Each structure stands twice: as structure tokens, then as C-alpha cells.
Amino acid sequence: MNDWNYFLHHIKKMVHDETSDSKKLKLWMQLKNDKRVKNLNPYHLGEFMNFKNLLPSCKNKNIKLLDHGCGGGATLCFLALKDFKDIWGVTVNFDKNPDVVKAVRNLNKFFQLIFKDSTLNRVKIYNGYKLPFKNETFDLVFSQQVIEHLEPSKKIDFILEEKRVIKDFGVIYHQVPHRLVPYEAHTKVWLIHWLPKSFYKLFFKNNLKKREFINSHLFLDWPWSLKNKIKKNNLLVNDVTYKRLSIKSDNTELKGITLFIRLLFQKIFTFPIIGNVLAKFFSKFFMLEIFIKKNIK
């Protein structure tokens, strides 16, 4: 079990297990002091935690953050572990799944416990369109691997809502899987998604579940296309994908050709001078990481 999964295992127990508040608080303090997680900086978060360098006037406890599509709340719990106090999340529940309602309720109870606020619901279920917050509320809005699941006509509206709720000098962060990444992790295939979507679906003609997923829940962009759409809405885009490529990562969950490729590229990108040049070139074939800011003139 790698360090991130170790963290998730303990968070799941604290958030969702039926146990006393006093025991949860005790486990939380133990986790905060655990050597395996105290200095944890998960590889999959990429350059995300460097948002602090873009908000130099804010200390952790004063930065107001929104996880736009927080899912199970793992990143919010990690931020709480890192002493961020003003954390919020939204998720959707179009199917009115009772498990989602229960999970959000448990997350809110957990945050109420560790932040000693018995009434505040930090995680909200919303309609997927209008964020339930006032204009210029947050210093940081982040979204991890969400936008590729939005229909093309809704992607920019999603980002414009983020623009609405961040402060003038706030920051938006996105991780976005895209078509140019050779391995498509959702459907677990190589290169097929480079073809037109009709051919991509045809490849799964005998797999109804994956065909339906591709048709209704997977809308991959070319990376340059998405960045250009964002820039057209008076926003500045800083592509930092290349920065994570030379970082040594935890590869314990990878196998076979995927592990070989990861290790090979890590070695190449650490070469002096040329490694940085190669990282910038090959970053086009890795999951997009961008920081977005308002174009304040």
C-alpha cells in the first residue's frame, strides 16, 4: 500500500465508519502526526500544491478553497491535514443516489468535528450549473479530472462559473485528461481515442457499458483546443504540465508496459538541460495541468 492509499484507508474509516466522535478525533490527530502522511505530497496532485506560490499574501488558514467536483472528498481531507481551514466542496447527484447523499452527510459531519463547527455544511450537492456561492468568494477553485466528463457546450460555462466565484487575484487549477494522452485511463486502451468518436465507440461494439460511458460521459478535448477556448474568455492560462514529469513518483501500482514507460520517461527528463526541453515537448502527451487567472488590466 503506497502512502496515498494508506492515507485514504484511514480517512475512509474516520469519515464513514460508525464510531464515536472522540475516537475519530483521536485517530485524526494520530494521522496528522503519522510519519507516512506528515510530509506526503502525492504525485497524482502534480503541481496543485504550488498554488500557494501564486497566493503569497495568504496563509494556509486564510486561503478559501473550493473543490469543484469533489467526489468523495479525498483532496479536501488532505488539505485539512495540511492545516487549511476554509475548505469547501461541491458535487452533483443527478441520479439522486442515496449513497451520494449519505457520503456528503458523513463528510460534513467529519469536517464539523475536526473544525469544531457543528452547523456548517462545507460540502454541497448542486445542480452542476450555478455554483451556490456569491461572486468573488474564493482565493482558489480547483477541479481534478472533471471537465472531460462535461458535454462540449457546457465546458466553458463550467469554467466561467469558476471565474465568477474567484477573487480578482485568485487562482483556478485544472487537471484534464485529453485526447493526446496515448493511454486513455477511463476505457483502458491505447491510441484508439485519437480516432473520431464514432470509430472509438465501434471498437467497443461488444461492450455496451463502455460504449455508453464514451457516448454519455467522456468528452475528450485536444489540449490546445481547450486552452484556446479558455483564453477567449479573458482568462490567462499557465500550462505547468511539464513540471511534474521529472519528479520521482510512487510507481507501486503500475505494471508491465505502463510501468516501463513511466520509469523511462522519468529517467530521460532528469537529464541536465536537455531533460527540461524534452519534458516541455512530451508534456503534450500527459494529462494537462493548468493554472488560470483573470486577465486584470
What residues does each domain of the chain span?
1-39+58-177, 185-218
DSSP 3-state assignment of 161? helix
Residue 188 has pLDDT above 70, yes or no: yes
d(CA 169, CA 138): 10
211-237 pLDDT, tens digit per residue, is 999 999 999 999 999 999 999 999 999
Q: What is the mean pLDDT of residues 273-287?
A: 87
Q: What is the mean pLDDT of residues 266-270?
A: 78
d(CA 214, CA 45): 25
d(CA 204, CA 200): 7
The owner of cell 497566493 is 55
d(CA 270, CA 261): 14
Residue 135 has pLDDT above 90, yes or no: yes
**Helices 3-16, 21-32: crossing angle, 10 deg rounding:** 160
d(CA 182, CA 171): 29
pLDDT in the model for residue 279: 86
Please, which pLDDT band fits residue 268 given cuts at 50, 70 and 90? confident
d(CA 166, CA 139): 6
Residue 256 has pLDDT above 80, yes or no: no
User: Poorest-confidence range of 36-40, 184-188, 211-215?
Assistant: 36-40
Residues pairing with 65 in the sheet: 87, 140
Residue 112 has pLDDT above 70, yes or no: yes
Dihedral over alpha carbons 190, 252, 2, 40 (to 10 degrees): -80
Residues pairing with 262 in the sheet: none
Please, which pLDDT band fits residue 269 given cuts at 50, 70 and 90? confident
The owner of cell 508496459 is 257
- Reading the block at residue 20, the C-alpha cell is 464515536
- Alpha helices (H) along 145-222: 152-165, 197-203, 208-217
As to burial, measured by CB atoms within 10 angstroms (0-12 exposed, 13-18 middle, 19+ buried), residue 234 is exposed
Q: Tell me, which fold does domain 1-39+58-177 have in CATH?
A: Rossmann fold (3.40.50)
What average pLDDT does the structure give for the chain? 90
73-94 pLDDT, tens digit per residue, is 999 999 999 999 999 999 999 8
Contacting residues for 2 by C-beta, under 8 A, at least 6 apart: 250, 252, 253
